[in-house]
A and B are shown apart, each in its own frame.
Chain A
Amino acid sequence: MGMIESTLSRPMAIAATAIARPAYAVPGFSLSLGAVGRFLSKPATLIGVLVLAPMVILALVAPVLPLPDANAPDVRSALQPPSMSHFFGTDKLGRDIFARVLMGARVSLLIGFSVAAIAVVVGMALGMLSATLGRGVDSAVMAVVDLLLSFPSLLLAIGFVAVFGAGVVQVIVAIALADIPRAIRLQRSLALGIRGRSYMDAARLFSAPTWWLICRHLLPNTIASMLVVGSTYAANAILAEAALSFLGLGITPPTPSWGNIISDGRRYLQDGWWICTFPGVAIVLAAVSLHLLADGFRHSLDPRAEA
């Protein structure tokens, strides 16, 4: 079980584990080649990789693929069902849904990975400082964390874009705002747990400076758990982007994102079920595989976890 439990009551800890599901990895095991092998040896993780990798590659190469222009209207082929010429059909304006889903993947995956990266980096930095720099810094950081956590996350994001407008950068910040406090909290409790380990005492005996403690001990021993939650943040960010864009507050047309393609298609539910269906399937596949990766990280980085 993870270190977070040392700061929480047992039922709270069980709940926290299940919410952040996959449970937190045990700190103390860092990345290694053996970990990579263990990572891919689990069938569920392999499925996650096999689903996510092609999506990422397709998103990256989408602009050079021989596909119809995702934004070029073609009225003659409006609202066509899926066929060999249009794999996922076309929308009201005759735009190719397959091309739009691929181009949308670029935006949606970019947002997912950016949010995860920002939340993990900022969370690790502030969580570490909070745990090492003493009571004053700690209570200031935790006060802001508690404040941010007192807003329901989607409403925090909605409020943010209501003020700062729609757009990729705004959406990334809006979603990250809800994940950063969670990441800080986790990093802080992991770091506090490690602080009492004997190797930390040993390092302090040799009067190792704080930066040494952070770089040599805290960072390597907590990064595994942060990778686990980072994957779930990415999955949740993809869902949050879709929700914001669906409401018309996230990524606005003509730039396609999975959320706004669905939003676009909801008016043609009866005449074109395929417009909404395929981007939704893409969201589910991406989110499920990210959760499987998180599970894989947890198992591979913690050899003690059950198979």
Chain B
Amino acid sequence: MGAYLRRRTLQTIPTLFGIVVVVFLMLRMLPGDPAVFIAGENASPEALTAMRTNLGLDMPLHLQFLTYLGRILQGNLGQSLMNGNPVAAIVAGALPITLVVGGLALVLSFLIAIPLGAAAAFTASRGHGALDHGVMIAALIVDTIPGFWLALLLMLFFTLQLGMFPATGALDPTNPGAFLARLTLPVAVLAIGQIASVARITRTSVLEVLHEDYIRTARSLGTPEWSVLFGHALRNAALPVVTIAGLSFGRLLGGTVLTENIFALPGMGTVLINAIFSRDYPVVQGTILLYTLMFVAVNIATDVLYTRVDPRVQL
């Protein structure tokens, strides 16, 4: 287990290196002279020189990269061009919001989607296809609803028409009621975005397991159906569901960018989009780097979780 974790982490080193190269190149691939692009056409020569020094653009490319890599390894993501604050601090300040919203959405989507998917598979296997068809059609439609559009519709209905769930205003964790009311809609939107894929995988997985010999054995021994479903089928169907949690995490991260933008939540997505519009490239690089590291970390965690969920898996 520990050895596997170490090996798996070592295997990601080339990937991490590649990610850093791509993020490093972002700034260098800006059209024309990056310093002019960021500072503007009318910047004075002195300002441009200062900008080049600030961004490290006055060095040869390989030295720029080594400097960048060295700083990142020390946790230094550079300074914001807007206010000179360290990017690491800016990103660290925004991260908790993104984690709270994304985490709540993930939990909520599992709580809804797993029972739905299992129920669809179970009724289908018993010859009642109505619920199954309903769930699958709903999943298809829900899966194609753009999250940001759903957010606007929910905001129109709940916030503007009914006056529930404020969509703007401060986030104050010391006031749990207001805090949760403020987060309800963003979490709901993100959770709905995940439900379809999780329900679908649960259904497929449970359907497969229901054909296994041990299920037939359990039934032939007179095991009650609820026990077959919960005690045997769901437990054995859990592995693919864990897998998809990792794989759909990327989609969840993308969703948080849009959702934070709409509900004015000061998370990483808001930081990223504001930085793009103000051409604050060190902040853009820092946020994209952190998003990607989170994605890679979750994928490792998913792999490791296999062994916990299913002892048959040898890694």
Contacts and interface: CB of A to CB of B under 8 A. Distances in A.
A280 B205 contact: no
B244 A15 contact: yes
Interface in A258-284: 262, 266, 269-270, 273, 276-277, 280, 283-284
Contact of B295 (A19, A151, A242, A246): A151
A138 B253 CA distance: 30
B257 interface: yes
A5 B273 CA distance: 39
Contacts of B262: 266
Contacts of B255: 154
A158 B272 contact: yes
B144 interface: yes
B74 to A, nearest CB: 22
Nearest to A146: B15
Given A243-B146, A262-B149, A159 B156 contact: no
A183 B239 CA distance: 25
B200 interface: yes
Contacts of B258: 243, 246-247
Contacts of B254: 152-155, 243
B31 interface: yes
Report, as a range, how many residues of chain B touch the other chain. 35 or more
Contacts, number: 153
B208 interface: yes
Contacts of A248: 273, 277
B307 interface: no
Contacts of A14: 201, 204-205, 208, 240, 243
Contacts of B22: 147, 151
Contacts of B248: 19
Contact of B197 (A18, A158, A269): A18
A151 B292 contact: yes
B147 to A, nearest CB: 8
A251 interface: no
A246 B291 contact: no
Given A143-B14, A158-B276, A163-B26, A17 B296 contact: no
B149 A276 contact: yes
Determine which residue in A146, A158, A262, A269 has the highest number of CB atoms from chain B within 10 A of its CB, and name it.
A158
Contact of A155 (B141, B253, B261): B253
A125 B15 CA distance: 24
Contact of B257 (A17, A18, A154, A276): A154
Nearest to B151: A266
B148 A243 contact: yes
A239 B244 contact: no
Interface in A173-216: none
Interface string A271-306: 001001100100110011001100000000000000
Interface residues of A, number: 46
B251 A152 contact: yes
A284 B144 contact: yes
B19 A147 contact: yes
Interface string A133-169: 0000000000100110011111100110011110000
A292 to B, nearest CB: 8
Interface in B94-151: 140-141, 143-149
Nearest to B250: A152
B247 interface: yes
Contacts of A247: 257-258, 261, 273
Contacts of B247: 15, 19
Interface in A220-268: 235, 239, 242-243, 246-249, 262, 266
A34 interface: no
Nearest to B277: A248
Interface in A22-52: none
Nearest to A285: B144
A235 B145 CA distance: 11
A280 B141 CA distance: 13
B152 A262 contact: yes
A172 to B, nearest CB: 17
16 contacts: A15-B244, A18-B200, A147-B15, A150-B15, A150-B295, A154-B253, A155-B254, A158-B272, A243-B147, A248-B277, A262-B149, A269-B156, A273-B156, A276-B156, A283-B144, A287-B144
Interface of B: 14-15, 18-19, 22-23, 26, 29-31, 140-141, 143-149, 152-153, 155-156, 160, 197, 200-201, 204-205, 208, 239-240, 243-244, 247-251, 253-255, 257-258, 261-262, 272-273, 276-277, 284, 288, 291-292, 295-296, 299, 306, 310, 313
Interface of A: 9, 11-12, 14-15, 17-19, 21, 143, 146-147, 150-155, 158-159, 162-165, 235, 239, 242-243, 246-249, 262, 266, 269-270, 273, 276-277, 280, 283-284, 287-288, 291-292
Given A14-B201, A14-B240, 8 more contacts: A14-B208, A18-B197, A146-B15, A147-B22, A150-B296, A151-B295, A155-B291, A280-B152
Give the 10 A-B residue pairs with the shortest CB-CB distance, closest first.
A154-B254, A287-B144, A152-B250, A280-B149, A15-B243, A11-B239, A147-B18, A18-B201, A14-B240, A11-B240
